Amino acid sequence: LNRNLAAQPTTIFTIMSELARQHDAINLGQGFPDTEGPQDMVRVAADALLDNRNQYAPLTGLPELRQAVADASLRFQGITVSPDSEVVVTSGATEALAAAFLALIEPGDEVVLMEPLYDTYLPVIRQLGGIPRLVRLEAPDWALPLKALEDAFSSRTKAIVLNSPMNPTGKVFSTEELDFIASLVRRHDTYAICDEVYEHLAFGAPHVSLMTRDGMRDRCLRIGSAGKSFSLTGWKVGYVTAAPALTAVVSKAHQNLVFATPPNLQRAVAFGLNKDSAYFTELARDMDKKRLILSSGLERAGFRVLPCQGSYFVMADITPFTQDGPQSGMDDVAFSRLLTQQARVTTIPASAFYDPNGQTPPPRNLIRFAFCKREEVLLEAVARIEAWK
Ligand code: PMP
Ligand code: GLN
């Protein structure tokens, strides 16, 4: 057995979703919408199934989806992309990330990442013999620590991972921050893996890709997810956009991991990406409304809610509950469990988004709520917490 992999704990999303089921709790932990995605897309997928679209798709993706990804890159980010040589369709952003790491990392290579971080990055990097260099962003505003980031780069740096809009903080990186990151990537002649799965879920300033910044066009591997852009998380369709020299190697990784992604879903995602801009504006507007409903409800219930500019998630400080009284001294993990068991509302303890082998202990006062749920569900969750506290 591979001892590192065997020792890896089950993901917090599965643990908390299972606990939610056991206690019949409202699941604001794992980030998935509780409504169906666009029905016209579902119909295109169903029609494609019945239209004998059931054999292997081309390795790098259906031409119509690669064209749609390229068109969307130009429409939303002003980036011109060749659909033939610069797009690889993957089975979700999860596979895209793994393929990007496989494409870049050799043993001993350093990878710069920002904590708190999404939970698949570190295990895959370490499996490949990569060495993570972690830079911590601090609550409540998660500002980029310029000096620490600069110090994390070295002659051994192969890449930086940038997740914007960011899970779990809800931070959307500013163009000034992107330019600073770009300057380091240029100076150290490295790559950037850009996890942009929440690209259409920015609520204030629009999301800007690092790929648009000076000198970044051919250094970035930009990753998107149809799951997030169309509220179809179960479909697991993602895409990587990068220069031909990079996609050539990402394709080799994809060839060994999955080889090809279901063609009927690819056809439907192509249809979705070609929707007019009103769809994408409405998606963000609708999600922002949900964010406001949950954030204001949580404030009323006694949490200190952190600012959020994008993604499905908002962070809340539990200190008002844990400084005295029955939850006195509880950490985020114990508090999340208690909230599921007693209030029947499930969240994710934010310490799960920090390196388990890290030197500095993670903050223990933050929990993450997903707001990608129907309004009545969000209001019921708040009502349950108010009745419990
Ligand atoms: N990156 C981030 C930051 C995410 O939150 C997620 C969540 N699902 C993924 C990647 C994986 O996306 P997918 O479901 O398309 O694999
Ligand atoms: N991205 C989702 C989240 O952060 C979870 C996806 C998963 O369960 N792997 O909640």
CATH number for the domain that contains residue 378: 3.90.1150.10
Residue nearest to atom 1 of ligand 2 (CA): 31
Which of 275, 303, 328 delimits the end of a domain?
275
For helices 263-273 and 63-77, give the axis angle rounded to 10 degrees. 30
Which H, E and C letters describe the chain, residue by residue?
A: CCHHHHHCCCCHHHHHHHHHHHCCCEECCCCCCCCCCCHHHHHHHHHHHHCCCCCCCCCCCCHHHHHHHHHHHHHHHCCCCCCCCCEEEECHHHHHHHHHHHHHCCCCCEEEEEECCCCCHHHHHHHCCCEEEEEECCCCCCCCCHHHHHHHCCCCEEEEEEECCCCCCCCCCCHHHHHHHHHHHHHCCCEEEEECCCCCCECCCCCCCHHHCCCCCCCEEEEEEHHHHCCCHHHCCEEEECCHHHHHHHHHHHHHHCCCCCHHHHHHHHHHHCCCHHHHHHHHHHHHHHHHHHHHHHHHHCCEECCCCECCEEEEECHHHHCCCCCCCCCHHHHHHHHHHHHCEECEEHHHHCCCCCCCCCCCCEEEEECCCCHHHHHHHHHHHHHHC
Contacts of residue 137, Cβ cutoff 8 Å, sequence gap at least 6? 114, 115, 116, 143, 144, 145, 169, 171
275, 307, 328 — which closes off a domain? 275
Q: Are residues 321 and 217 in the same domain?
A: no
Q: Does 287 lie in the same domain as 244?
A: no
User: 122 C-alpha vs ligand 1 centroid, how far in Å?
Assistant: 14
Residue 265 sits in the same domain as residue 342: no
Domain co-membership, 282 together with 252: no
- Are residues 63 and 115 located together in one domain of the fold? yes
Q: Tell whether 214 and 81 lie within a shared domain.
A: yes
Structural domain boundaries enclosing 145: 39-275
92 lines ligand 1 (CB under 6 A): yes
What are 162's strand-pairing partners?
194
Report which protein residue has its CA nearest ligand 2's atom 9.
13
Establish whether residue 92 lines the binding site of ligand 2, counting it when its CB lies within 6 angstroms of any ligand atom: no
In this structure, are residues 327 and 339 in contact, taking their beta carbons and an 8 Å threshold? no
For the record, the structure tokens of 313 come out as 């998630």
Residues 190 and 290 in one domain: no
Give, for ligand 2, the residue of 17, 28, 32 to mutate: max count of ligand atoms closer than 8 Å to Cβ.
32
Task: From first to last of the 389 residues of the chain, give the pLDDT tens digit.
Answer: 999 899 998 999 999 999 999 999 999 999 999 999 999 999 999 999 998 778 999 999 999 999 999 999 999 999 999 999 999 999 999 999 999 999 999 999 999 999 999 999 999 999 999 999 999 999 999 999 999 999 999 999 999 999 999 999 999 999 999 999 999 999 999 999 999 999 999 999 999 999 999 999 999 999 999 999 999 999 999 999 999 999 999 999 999 999 999 999 999 999 999 999 999 999 999 999 999 999 999 999 999 999 999 999 999 999 999 999 999 999 999 999 999 999 999 999 999 999 998 999 999 999 999 999 999 999 999 999 999 99
Kindly state whether residues 181 and 252 are assigned to the same domain. Answer: yes
The answer to whether ipTM exceeds 0.90 is: yes
**Which of the listed residues 232, 256, 275 is the one where a domain comes to its end?**
275
Residues 257, 167 within the same domain = yes
| Same domain (yes/no): 44, 180 | yes
Q: What's the CATH number where 198 sits?
A: 3.40.640.10
Same domain, 249 and 374: no
Give the Cα separation of 115 and 360 in Å (integer): 11
Does 258 share its domain with 269?
A: yes
Q: Count how many domains the chain has.
A: 2
Q: Is the CB of 130 under 6 A from ligand 2?
A: no
